[in-house]
A = this chain, B = another copy of it.
Amino acid sequence: MDKLTNKAEEQLKVVSTATLTTQLFKRGLRNVFMQGVRRVSTNAPALVGPAYTLRNIPAREDLDHLGVFEGRSHPQRRAIEEVPPGHVLVMDCRGETSVASGGGILMLRAQVRGAAGVVSDGGLRDTPEIAQMNWPVYAAGPSAPTNLIKHSALDLNVPIGCGGVPVYPGDIIHGDAEGVVVIPQEIANEVAADAWEQERFERFVVREVKAGKSIFGTYPPDDDTRARYQEWLKEGEPA
């Protein structure tokens, strides 16, 4: 299993989820963008990091009461305390948005511990406060009620679904203001490189389009455009 290189991490921090989904589509992967998951912390930087997962099943009234938070064994609380620094906690809530999957204090603790961010396909509470965090948190919407009402936290770091997408522990999670994409870890380095190159070309395309060029022949490029792009590359992209 390949580790994400520093270079790939830097590249991923500047490319978009849109570009990454195209690179994954080229590799035959069509279902990589989480549906219905939005960024809560509006001004947070890009999210990049390997997935550390939490699995929930539906709650049962006799098992999921406030007492479960006593002690040190509740999987949701363990997830917050055990997600490794630099990793992204991804919570499988089966798309149930009528209750929260976490709140402000847990997000704060995960941030203090050095996690890269949190992603949930359930609701989230304390969203007015979390919206102000300068740290990436994604969820399917604001929802005040406690997770215990609908969710029973069960497993740590097993393969899950989130937003309809498979997430295996260690997969690279990437988020921007559009949403969250899951990159299988085996191909994350090459996807990062190709995405970075694709966006460099698209910066050239934007310049061309602003100058009045047609989409035809430019995007995708014909031979003439390809030649012009090579020249542009030689000139060096302005910072």
Given contacts A25-B146, A57-B161, 14 further A-B contacts (CB under 8 A): A16-B144, A21-B144, A27-B62, A31-B58, A35-B98, A35-B143, A57-B167, A58-B164, A62-B184, A70-B220, A81-B214, A105-B205, A127-B178, A155-B158
Is A59 located at the chain interface by the 8 A CB criterion? yes
Question: How many whole Å from A28's CB to the nearest CB in chain B?
Answer: 5
Return the contact of A128 from the options B109, B176, B184 (Cβ within 8 A). B176
- Residues A21-65 near B (CB distance < 8 A): 21-22, 25-33, 35, 38, 57-63
Determine if A25 and B62 form an interchain contact, defined as CB atoms under 8 angstroms apart.
no
**Residues of B with C-beta under 8 A to A22:** 146
Q: Give A185 to B214 CA distance when docked, in angstroms.
A: 30
CB neighbors of B among A138-163 (8 A): 142-146, 148-149, 152, 154-155, 158-161
* Residue contact A58 to B161, C-beta cutoff 8 Å: yes
Q: Which residues of B contact A61 (CB under 8 A)?
A: 28-31
* CB atoms of A210 and B146 under 8 A apart: no
Task: Give residues of chain A (151-201) contacting chain B, Cβ–Cβ below 8 Å.
Answer: 152, 154-155, 158-161, 164-167, 176-179, 181, 184
Number of copies: 6
Report if A1 contacts B (CB, 8 A).
no
Also in contact, A215 and B125, with CB within 8 A (given A29-B60, A144-B18): no
* Docked-complex contact B29 and A108, CB < 8 angstroms: no
- A9 in the interface, Cβ–Cβ < 8 Å? no
The contact string, 1 if C-beta is below 8 Å from chain B, for chain A 75-90, is 0010011000000000
Please indicate the chain B residues that have their CB under 8 angstroms from the CB of A109 in the complex: 209, 214-215
Judge whether A20 is part of the interface by a CB distance below 8 angstroms: yes
A contact residues, total (Cβ < 8 Å)? 83
Q: List 7 A-B contacts (CB under 8 A).
A: A25-B149, A58-B166, A108-B206, A109-B215, A128-B177, A131-B177, A143-B178
A58 contact from B125, B165, B214, Cβ within 8 A: B165
User: Which residue of B146, B148, B154 is within 8 Å of A159 (Cβ)?
Assistant: B154
A17 interface residue per 8 A CB criterion: yes
**Given A125-B18, A164-B58, A145:B209 Cβ within 8 A:** no
